[in-house]
Structure 1
Amino acid sequence: MEPLVSKTEFRNAMARVCAPVNVITTNGPAGRGGFTATAMCSVTDEPPTLLVCMNRNSTQCGLFIDNRRFCVNVLSHDHRDLAGHFAGATQDMAARYAATDWVEMQSGSFAVKDAIVSLDCELAEARLLGTHHILIGRVVGIRSRSDGNALLYFDRNYVHVPTQLGSFGG
């Protein structure tokens, strides 16, 4: 049976969906790792849970699954170069981590010091579906700042949309 939607059609459609740019980090017995992702979303607030999708062909998949922890760092528009480093422009993990300042979270994973928000997670479940692992994380800690504009990815380009600061009472 022919697929109703081709891979190319689907990719082109998803390119038209605006998403925040995140650096996902891990640190633990299996080592330190990190990658850039836009495929991240909340799952439930009771208990606080989110998911991140990671390409199964990534050499880091085993690292994230073995460490059983990760941190989602939502980047600001000032982090465009950092997003590039973690997207693979820099292969050396030490060089990726040298590109910014970090704070160690409760789980042992690292948070970008000036990220819009960092969500520290324990891996609750990992599922393989097609080309990606779906990492489901229970949020065990949060760091956030009250200013800054998120770095977004739309139409295969980084963009940012200025926001009205102070609009949320958190």
Structure 2
Amino acid sequence: MTKIVEAAPRLTPAADGQTFRDAMARLASPTHIVTTAGQNGRAGLTATAVASVSDAPPTVLVCIEGNSRTLAAIAANGVFCINTLPGGFADLAETFAGRRGIEGEARFASARWGRLASGAPVLEQALAAFDCRLIAIRDVATHRIVIGEVLALGGAGQGAGLIYRDRRFETV
């Protein structure tokens, strides 16, 4: 008996950063605004690279570009909050992504913010908010993995979410 072996699909090596970014753009990712507050002021950015690490104790991570001013503020303040955006908040995501020409404290003017345990800004309309104490920052390539122990949870937890796919925001 002859065994038929099919050839594996040809894989394209991730030869350059643009090819990799194009492939990653095809993935749908929940959209978050990561905020911080403290002696170095309030700061925030839009992020899609967010994940849980553990539930005992509750721990999360977010990946942030190494030269980010918000990353520097998180490191200095020692706290951050990951706010999961509901549908309809694409403009806020664009603002915190730096695509509206609005910087620093002015980014916070177009939404309602509260506080939980850490003092980091919590979006009142967030689907979920993970209020964290910074426990570690790890360097990996061009980014830093920011790890936080969750001190408190917030957010409305209802409705559609905002995702980022094909380089645009969509409600699902």
Deviation at 1:94, TM superposition (A): 2.3
1:35 equivalenced with 2:12 (yes/no): no
What is the TM-score when the length of structure 1 is the normalising length? 0.88
Task: Quickly say closer, same or farther: Cα 1:124–1:9, change in 2 above 3 A.
Answer: same
Moved over 4 A (4+): none
Match of 1:60, SS?
helix
Write out per-residue CA displacement over residues 63-112 of structure 1, whole angstroms, 9 at most, x where no aligned residue: 11111110000001121111111111233222211110011111010100
Q: Which residue of 2 aligns with 1:149?
A: 160
Unaligned runs of 5+ in 1: 162-170
Whether the 8 Å contact between 1:51 and 1:136 is mirrored in structure 2 is: yes
1:25 equivalenced with 2:25 (yes/no): no
1:109 equivalenced with 2:117 (yes/no): no
Matched AA of 1:142: L
1:137 equivalenced with 2:148 (yes/no): yes
Q: Which residue of 1 aligns with 2:7?
A: none
Whether the 8 Å contact between 2:14 and 2:20 is mirrored in structure 1 is: no
Deviation at 1:115, TM superposition (A): 0.7
Deviation at 1:12, TM superposition (A): 1.3
Q: Which has the larger radius of gyration?
A: 2
What is the root-mean-square deviation of aligned Cα atoms in Å? 1.4
1:76 equivalenced with 2:76 (yes/no): no
Match of 1:10, SS?
helix
Q: Which residue of 1 aligns with 2:4?
A: none
Unaligned runs of 5+ in 2: 1-12
- Quick one: percent identity of the two aligned structures? 40
Match of 1:13, SS?
helix
Q: 2 CA distance for matches of 1:4 and 1:26? A: 34
Whether the 8 Å contact between 2:126 and 2:157 is mirrored in structure 1 is: no
Question: Of the candidates 131, 151, 161, which is equivalent to residue 120 of structure 1?
Answer: 131
- Greater alpha carbon shift after TM alignment, 27-36 vs 53-62: 53-62
